[in-house]
Amino acid sequence: MAEIDSAYWAADHPHPLAPNDADVETYRELIGSAPTRLLLGNTRALMPLCTAAMDTDPFIDDPRVIAQDWTTNMVDYDVIFGDGVLNFTADLTHQLLTMAQRHSRRFIVRAFSRRLPIMRVADNFPTANDFAIVPTHVLERVDYRFFVWDFTDSRANDNSSAPEGAQ
């Protein structure tokens, strides 16, 4: 995986690399009224949705930002969410899913379904079948998917309660 500094992440990126208004609204609906919400990374458009954000090299000066590796989180949150965080490597994906299962009730991620020409960093393009823990809901879009895991929901593999547009 290529190393990219915080200046790259701080720059404006076009959609679909950065979430658009519709994506932000999807996150908002999936997060609901959860009191505590950890954003993995500093995605500008998603900062208003979090109560805390975590990144090893933060580029946003905000008191909610924690300078820390995502996989080392030990604090419990109602929701942990991120944008593109599962697209780095399969190993990181596994570590993040394990951490989120231990420390949240719900994990929400927008992940790219294929490499786009504009991408500089992305080596992993998971489908629902690639996870050790099957997502509760998958919302398909043209170039990406929203994956949602409900760790405290006994219907974790029952998609009959999936949000509108989910499979």
pTM equals 0.84
Q: In the predicted model, what is the mean pLDDT of residues 15-34?
A: 94
Which residues pair with residue 19 across a beta bridge?
none
For β-strands 104-112 and 52-55, DSSP reports them as unpaired
Instruction: Give per-residue pLDDT as tens, 31-52.
Output: 999 999 999 998 999 999 999 9
Q: What per-residue confidence (pLDDT) applies to 166?
A: 43
- The CA distance from 54 to 143, in Å, is 25
| pLDDT score, position 84 | 93
Give the count of beta carbons closer than 10 Å to the beta carbon of residue 73: 21
Strands (E) across the chain are located at: 37-40, 52-55, 65-67, 77-83, 104-112, 137-140, 144-150
